[in-house]
Amino acid sequence: MSRRKRKRGTQQKCKACEKTVYPMDQLMADGITYHKSCFKCTHCKGSLQLSNFSSMEGVLYCKPHFEQLFKETGNFNKSFQSR
């Protein structure tokens, strides 16, 4: 009797790259799955940690850029303007 090996992993996809995320590389933030390497600030592309990120409507920011967004726009509902 032969035994089939089951692939172990998740069927969850990374929100940033849309590829499968395996448990060893999985990071969950605000109920959304990411690869650890894809968890980056949208503005500066700097790596984020669960302790130093902010998000607005699913868009990730480092704390300094999240605060800058508020200072420039007066609210958190607008994105950065291209310069």
Query: Along the 83 residues of the chain, how does pLDDT read in single tens digits?
Result: 445 555 554 489 999 999 999 999 999 998 999 999 999 999 999 999 999 999 888 889 999 999 888 777 666 555 554 33
What pLDDT digit, counting tens, does each position of 58-76 carry? 889 999 999 888 777 666 5
Domains of the chain: 10-39 (2.10.110.10), 40-77 (2.10.110.10)
CA-closest candidate to residue 15, choices 30, 1, 34: 34
Q: Determine contact, residues 33/13, Cβ cutoff 8 Å.
A: yes
Q: Determine contact, residues 26/10, Cβ cutoff 8 Å.
A: yes
Q: Is the pTM of this model over 0.75?
A: no
Residue 77 φ then ψ, to 5°: -95, -5
